[in-house]
A = this chain, B = another copy of it.
Amino acid sequence: MNRPIGVIDSGVGGLTVVHELMRQLPKEKLIYLGDTQRCPYGPRPEHEVVSFTWEMVDFLLQKDVKMIVIACNTATAYTLKELQERLDIPVVGVIQPGARAAIKSTQKNFVGIIGTEGTIRSNAYIEALQYIKSDIEVNALACPMFVPMVEQGILTGEKAEVIVEETLRPLLKYRNEMDTLILGCTHYPLIKGVIQKVLGTQITLISSSEETARETSTILEIHQLFNDGREETSHQFYTTGELDIFTDITKSIFNSSIDNLQSVTIEQAIICRN
């Protein structure tokens, strides 16, 4: 079953999911589509996010993908159920895997969530957690500064620490009760080190990117969709925005840990606009 896995995101954040898919499922071929031109999705009304997401899904279906990963929290919150019902290939989002990993991790039954304003406002993580475990204690915090900070390439250093410390201050008073924090945005794994430093090592950080890659593996097994051939190194990346900017950000996200970036094709996506 050597068809590719399709990954969509509103922009570049979903590349952290791609990074984990490459690491945890090195035999799989990936096609990534980032809707950078219309990013961010967070502040957009639901019908717009639904419509944009379907355009990306249609693009991927033409590439004959065997499975779709919605590597965007906002798109997951608004479209996961509909996509799962209407497509005849498996679809996974980024919210449920993170929620499940947090339930496994927490011994104190108290989980924190950080995300964009849109994700926190949607209550999607709280609903996913409490649907499975009604009595779980949850504290959610919107971190509007984190995505712009990451997109400016500020991932470490004093400036990053000051922003993270100020943003996360409301969570610090729960440090004794809360033992697990979900990084509920695919940008946040890029500043995981700073977040861990600010909160201390007694709090387990759950990366929705890592967890989504892991559940992708489970789903491939259940549906017997694993690529049983050789390791795959030719992935395809598409952007709806400027090629140069996307290429630069991609290189900076993957840093030196993806050796084969030169074999990645980055093309302009032509998607059917409403």
- Across the interface, do A218 and B217 meet the contact criterion of CB distance under 8 Å? no
Q: Closest approach, in angstroms, between the C-beta of A68 and any C-beta of chain B?
A: 14
The B-contacting residues of A in range 74-128, CB under 8 angstroms, are 90, 96-97, 100-101, 103-104
Chain B residues, Cβ within 8 Å of A135? 26, 231
- Tell me, rounded to whole Å, the shortest Cβ–Cβ distance linking A204 to chain B: 11
Copies of the protein in its oligomer: 2
Q: Which residues of A contact B (CB under 8 A)?
A: 20, 24-27, 90, 96-97, 100-101, 103-104, 131-135, 210-211, 213-215, 217-219, 221-222, 226, 231
Give the docked Cα–Cα distance between A26 and B134 (Å).
8
Contact of A24 among B24, B96, B133, B226 (CB under 8 A): B133
CB of A32 to closest CB in B, whole Å: 20
Are A231 and B134 interface neighbours, CB within 8 A? Answer: yes
14 A-B contact pairs sorted by A residue (CB < 8 Å) = A24-B104, A24-B132, A90-B222, A96-B218, A96-B221, A97-B218, A100-B218, A101-B214, A103-B214, A104-B210, A104-B211, A132-B217, A132-B226, A135-B231
Please give, as numbers and ranges, the residues of chain B lying within 8 Å of A131 by CB-CB distance. Answer: 226
CB proximity of A77 to chain B, nearest CB, Å? 16
Q: Are B26 and A133 in contact (CB under 8 A)?
A: yes
Q: Are the C-beta atoms of A214 and B24 separated by less than 8 Å?
A: no
Q: Are A217 and B100 in contact (CB under 8 A)?
A: yes
> Which of A20, A215, A226, A231 neighbours the largest number of chain B CB atoms within 10 Å of its CB?
A215
Contacts of A133 in B (CB 8 A): 24-27
B132, B210, B222: the one contacting A219 at CB < 8 Å is: B222
Known contacts A96-B221, A218-B215, A219-B222, A24 near B134 by CB under 8 Å? no
Instruction: Give A101 to B27 CA distance when docked, in angstroms.
Output: 17
Contacts of A221 in B (CB 8 A): 96
**Which residue of chain B has the shortest Cβ distance to A134 in the bound complex?**
B231
Contacts of A104 in B (CB 8 A): 20, 24, 210-211, 213-214
> Nearest Cβ in chain B — how far from A132, in angstroms?
6
**Those 6 A-B pairs whose CB atoms lie nearest each other, nearest first:** A104-B214, A218-B218, A100-B217, A24-B103, A215-B218, A26-B133
Find chain B residues with CB under 8 A from A90 CB: 222
**A211 to B: closest C-beta gap in Å:** 8
Whether A100 and B214, one on each chain, are in contact in the complex, defined by CB atoms closer than 8 angstroms, is yes
CA distance A96 to B20 in the complex (A): 18
Nearest chain B residue, comparing its CB with the CB of A210: B104
Expressed in whole angstroms, the minimum distance between the Cβ of A16 and any Cβ of chain B is 14
Question: Across the interface, which residues of B come within 8 angstroms of A213, CB to CB?
Answer: 104
Contacts of A214 in B (CB 8 A): 100-101, 103-104
Name the B residues within 8 Å of A25 (CB-CB). 132-133
